Amino acid sequence: MPTSYLKKYWGFDSFRPPQEEIIQSVLNGQDVLVMMPTGGGKSICYQVPALMKTGCCLVISPLVALMHDQVENLKNRGISAIYLHSGMSKTELKREYENIRNGKYKLAYTSPERLLSQTFKDHLPYLNLSFLAIDEAHCISQWGHDFRPAYREIGSLREQLPNLNVIALTASATPQVQDDVLEQLRMLDAQVFRTTFARNNLIYRVRETDDTRGVILDLCLQVAGSGLIYAPTRSACEKLCMWLRDEGVDCSFYHAGLPAEVRNQRQLDWISNRIRVLTCTNAFGMGVDKPDVRFVAHWGPPNSLEAYYQEAGRAGRDGQRSVCELVIGPSDRSKGELNVATQHPRLDRVNEIYEAMSNYLGIAIHSGEGHQYDLDLPDFCKKFDYNPLDVFYALQAAEQLGYISRSEAVVEPSRVRFITDSTTLYDFQLRYPRYEQLIKFMLRRYAGIMDRATVISESELAKAVHANRKDIHKVLNQFEKIRLIEYHEQTDLPKVRYVHGRTQAIIDPDQRLKTLGDTAFSKWKSVVHYVDSEQCRMQAISSYFGEDLKEECGQCDICNLRKRNAFSSSLYQEIRQKVEFLLSQSPHSIRAILEELREVDRDELSMVLRWMMDDRVIRMREDHKLRLR
Which residues are CB-neighbours of 606 under 8 A, at least 6 positions away?
594
CA distances (Å), origin 508, targets 114, 217, 351, 598:
23, 46, 11, 70
Contacts of residue 50, defined as CB under 8 A and 6 or more positions apart, other chains included, come to: 56, 57, 106, 107, 130, 131, 133
**pLDDT above 70 (res 129):** yes
Q: Please write the tens of the pLDDT for every residue from 462-476.
A: 888 998 888 898 999
Identify the residue with better confidence: 427 or 621. 427
Compute the average pLDDT of residues 358-379: 89
pLDDT given for residue 202 in this prediction: 96
d(CA 626, CA 498): 59
What band does 93 get if pLDDT is binned at 50, 70 and 90?
confident
For residues 89 and 474, the model is more confident at 474
pLDDT score for 239: 94
Query: With bands split at pLDDT 50, 70 and 90, how would you rate the model's confidence at 119?
Result: confident
- HEC sequence for 76-124: HCCCCEEEECCCCCHHHHHHHHHHHHCCCCCEEEECHHHHHCHHHHHHH
pLDDT tens track for 539-596? 999 999 999 999 999 999 999 889 888 888 888 888 888 888 888 888 888 888 888 8
Q: Work out the average pLDDT over 134-161.
A: 80
Residue 91, pLDDT score: 80
Taking 90 as the threshold, does the pLDDT of residue 262 lie above it? no
Which pLDDT value is given to residue 624? 76
Taking residue 481's Cβ as centre, other Cβ atoms within 10 Å add up to 10
| Residue 346 confidence (pLDDT) above 60 | yes
DSSP 114-151: GGG-HHHHHHGGGS-EEEEEESSGGGG-TTSTT--GGG
Residue whose C-alpha is closest to residue 448's, from 42, 36, 89: 89
Per-residue confidence at 615, pLDDT binned at 50, 70, 90? confident
Q: Which 3-state string (H, E, C) describes 427-461?
A: HHHHHCHHHHHHHHHHHHHCCCCCCCCEECCHHHH
Strand partners, 194: 35
pLDDT of residue 606: 83
pLDDT at 411: 54
Indicate the SS3 state at residue 516. helix
pLDDT at 51 over 90: yes
Least confident residue range of 222-226, 280-284, 489-493: 489-493
244 Cβ partners below 8 Å, 6+ apart? Answer: 216, 217, 220, 251, 277, 279
Element (H or E) spanning 519, and its range? helix 512-532
Q: How far is CA 528 from CA 208, 233, 336, in A?
A: 12, 20, 9
**144: confidence class by pLDDT, cuts 50, 70, 90:** low
Give the mean pLDDT of 96-121.
88
Give me Rg for the CA atoms of the chain: 28
Residue 491 reports pLDDT greater than 70: no
The answer on pLDDT for 458 being more than 80 is yes
Q: Contacts for 1-10 with beta carbons within 8 Å, 24 or more apart? A: 2/27, 2/48, 2/49, 2/52, 5/48, 5/51, 5/52, 6/44, 6/48, 9/51, 9/77, 9/78, 9/79, 10/44, 10/77
- Quote helix, strand, coil % in the chain, to nearest 5: 50, 15, 35
Global pTM value = 0.76
408 pLDDT band, cuts 50/70/90, is low
Each residue of 515-536: pLDDT tens digit? 889 999 999 999 999 999 999 9
Q: Are 228 and 346 in contact (CB under 8 A)?
A: no
Mean pLDDT score across all residues of the chain: 88
